[in-house]
Amino acid sequence: MTIENFAHGIRYYTIDMIMNIGFGHIGGALSVVDCLAVLYTPEEGLLKIDPKNPKWDERDYFVMSKGHAGPALYATLAFRGFFDTKLLHTLNQPGTTLPSHVDRLKTPGVDMTAGSLAQGFGAAIGIATGARLKNKNQKVYCIVGDGELNEGQCWEAIQVAAHQKLNNLIVFVDNNKKQLDGISADICESFDFVEKFNAFGWNTVRIDGHNQQQIREQILRAQKQSKPTAIVMDTIKGKGVEYLESIDDHHLRIDTDEKKEFLNIAKKYYAEKAGL
List of domains in the chain: 3-273 (3.40.50.970)
pLDDT score recorded for residue 179: 86
pLDDT score recorded for residue 274: 85
Please say if the pLDDT value at position 131 is more than 80: yes
Mean confidence (pLDDT) of the chain: 94
Please say if the pLDDT value at position 250 is more than 90: no
Q: What mean pLDDT comes out for the span 17-28?
A: 91
Please say if the pLDDT value at position 259 is more than 90: no
Query: How confident is the model over 104-118, as pLDDT tens digits?
Result: 999 999 999 997 788
Q: What mean pLDDT comes out for the span 19-28?
A: 91
| Amino acid identity for residue 229 in this structure | T
pLDDT score recorded for residue 169: 98
pLDDT score recorded for residue 8: 96
Q: What is the pTM of this model?
A: 0.95
Query: How confident is the model over 223-247, as pLDDT tens digits?
Result: 999 999 999 999 999 999 888 888 8
pLDDT score recorded for residue 258: 82
pLDDT score recorded for residue 254: 83
pLDDT score recorded for residue 74: 98
Query: How confident is the model over 47-86, as pLDDT tens digits?
Result: 999 999 999 999 999 999 999 999 999 999 999 999 999 9
- Binned at pLDDT 50, 70 and 90, residue 264 comes out as confident
Query: How confident is the model over 148-206, as pLDDT tens digits?
Result: 999 999 999 999 999 999 999 999 999 999 887 778 888 888 899 999 999 999 999 99
pLDDT score recorded for residue 256: 77
